[in-house]
Amino acid sequence: MKNKEVTIDATGKAIGRVASEAAVALRNKNSAEFERHLTPAVKVSIINASLMDISNKKKKTKVYHHYSGYPGGLKEETLEHVIDKKGYREALLRAIKGMLPDNKLRAVAMKNLTITE
Protein backbone atom coordinates (compact mmCIF):
# COMPACT_ATOMS: atom_id res chain seq x y z
CA MET A 1 0.00 0.00 0.00
CA LYS A 2 1.22 3.48 -0.91
CA ASN A 3 1.68 6.24 1.62
CA LYS A 4 -1.15 8.75 1.39
CA GLU A 5 -1.17 12.27 2.78
CA VAL A 6 -4.34 14.09 3.79
CA THR A 7 -4.39 17.77 4.76
CA ILE A 8 -7.35 19.22 6.66
CA ASP A 9 -7.84 22.97 7.01
CA ALA A 10 -9.60 23.68 10.31
CA THR A 11 -10.35 27.34 9.61
CA GLY A 12 -13.93 28.15 10.62
CA LYS A 13 -14.91 24.52 11.33
CA ALA A 14 -16.22 23.05 14.56
CA ILE A 15 -13.84 20.90 16.60
CA GLY A 16 -15.99 17.79 16.25
CA ARG A 17 -16.23 18.09 12.47
CA VAL A 18 -12.47 18.38 12.13
CA ALA A 19 -11.89 15.49 14.55
CA SER A 20 -14.31 13.13 12.82
CA GLU A 21 -12.84 13.93 9.40
CA ALA A 22 -9.35 13.22 10.75
CA ALA A 23 -10.43 9.98 12.48
CA VAL A 24 -12.00 8.64 9.27
CA ALA A 25 -8.86 9.54 7.31
CA LEU A 26 -6.53 7.96 9.92
CA ARG A 27 -8.43 4.67 9.78
CA ASN A 28 -8.56 4.95 5.95
CA LYS A 29 -12.29 4.17 6.08
CA ASN A 30 -12.99 6.40 3.10
CA SER A 31 -10.93 4.13 0.86
CA ALA A 32 -11.76 0.88 -0.89
CA GLU A 33 -8.58 -0.62 0.61
CA PHE A 34 -9.91 -0.44 4.20
CA GLU A 35 -9.10 -3.46 6.35
CA ARG A 36 -9.93 -3.23 10.01
CA HIS A 37 -6.98 -5.33 11.22
CA LEU A 38 -4.24 -3.50 9.30
CA THR A 39 -2.57 -0.20 10.00
CA PRO A 40 -3.15 2.16 7.07
CA ALA A 41 -0.23 4.10 5.65
CA VAL A 42 -2.01 7.45 5.84
CA LYS A 43 -0.45 10.64 7.19
CA VAL A 44 -2.96 13.27 8.30
CA SER A 45 -1.99 16.87 8.94
CA ILE A 46 -4.34 19.48 10.34
CA ILE A 47 -3.49 23.12 9.72
CA ASN A 48 -4.85 26.32 11.32
CA ALA A 49 -6.11 24.57 14.47
CA SER A 50 -6.22 27.84 16.38
CA LEU A 51 -8.69 29.27 13.85
CA MET A 52 -11.38 26.68 14.63
CA ASP A 53 -14.86 27.93 15.45
CA ILE A 54 -15.41 26.97 19.10
CA SER A 55 -18.19 28.81 20.93
CA ASN A 56 -17.68 30.23 24.40
CA LYS A 57 -20.49 28.03 25.71
CA LYS A 58 -18.67 24.92 24.42
CA LYS A 59 -15.42 26.07 26.03
CA LYS A 60 -17.09 26.46 29.42
CA THR A 61 -19.40 23.41 29.42
CA LYS A 62 -17.25 20.71 27.79
CA VAL A 63 -15.60 18.81 30.65
CA TYR A 64 -12.90 16.15 30.43
CA HIS A 65 -12.95 13.55 33.23
CA HIS A 66 -10.09 11.40 34.50
CA TYR A 67 -10.38 8.94 37.35
CA SER A 68 -7.27 7.80 39.24
CA GLY A 69 -8.95 4.75 40.79
CA TYR A 70 -8.78 6.04 44.33
CA PRO A 71 -11.67 7.43 46.40
CA GLY A 72 -12.08 11.11 45.61
CA GLY A 73 -9.76 10.74 42.62
CA LEU A 74 -12.08 12.12 39.93
CA LYS A 75 -10.33 14.97 38.15
CA GLU A 76 -12.16 17.35 35.84
CA GLU A 77 -11.02 20.14 33.56
CA THR A 78 -12.91 22.21 31.03
CA LEU A 79 -12.09 22.69 27.36
CA GLU A 80 -11.23 26.31 28.10
CA HIS A 81 -8.63 25.23 30.68
CA VAL A 82 -7.11 22.70 28.28
CA ILE A 83 -6.82 25.32 25.53
CA ASP A 84 -5.30 27.90 27.89
CA LYS A 85 -2.85 25.42 29.41
CA LYS A 86 -1.84 23.24 26.45
CA GLY A 87 -3.31 24.85 23.34
CA TYR A 88 -5.73 23.91 20.58
CA ARG A 89 -3.51 21.01 19.58
CA GLU A 90 -4.23 19.12 22.80
CA ALA A 91 -7.98 19.70 22.50
CA LEU A 92 -7.96 18.27 18.97
CA LEU A 93 -5.77 15.33 20.02
CA ARG A 94 -8.24 14.40 22.77
CA ALA A 95 -11.19 14.64 20.40
CA ILE A 96 -9.57 12.50 17.70
CA LYS A 97 -8.29 9.94 20.22
CA GLY A 98 -11.83 9.51 21.52
CA MET A 99 -13.11 8.80 18.01
CA LEU A 100 -10.59 6.04 17.27
CA PRO A 101 -11.13 2.47 18.49
CA ASP A 102 -9.45 1.55 21.76
CA ASN A 103 -7.04 -1.10 20.49
CA LYS A 104 -3.39 -1.52 19.49
CA LEU A 105 -3.87 0.37 16.23
CA ARG A 106 -4.89 3.62 17.96
CA ALA A 107 -1.34 4.44 19.10
CA VAL A 108 -0.02 3.82 15.61
CA ALA A 109 -2.72 5.98 14.05
CA MET A 110 -2.06 8.83 16.47
CA LYS A 111 1.63 8.83 15.45
CA ASN A 112 0.52 9.50 11.87
CA LEU A 113 -1.22 12.72 12.94
CA THR A 114 0.36 16.17 12.92
CA ILE A 115 -1.42 19.32 14.08
CA THR A 116 -0.18 22.86 13.52
CA GLU A 117 -1.72 25.87 15.18
Longest dimension (CA), the chain: 49
> pTM for this one?
0.92
- Its sign, for the CA torsion 18, 22, 25, 30, is negative
pLDDT of residue 1: 58
List alpha helices for 44-103, DSSP H: 56-61, 79-86, 88-99
* Topology (CATH) of 4-53+87-115: Ribosomal Protein L13p; Chain: A; (3.90.1180)
Question: pLDDT for 31-54, tens place per residue?
Answer: 998 999 998 889 999 999 999 999
End-to-end CA distance of the chain: 30
Question: pLDDT for 61-110, tens place per residue?
Answer: 999 999 999 999 999 999 999 999 999 999 999 999 999 999 999 999 99
How far apart CA 35 and CA 68 sit, in angstroms, is 35
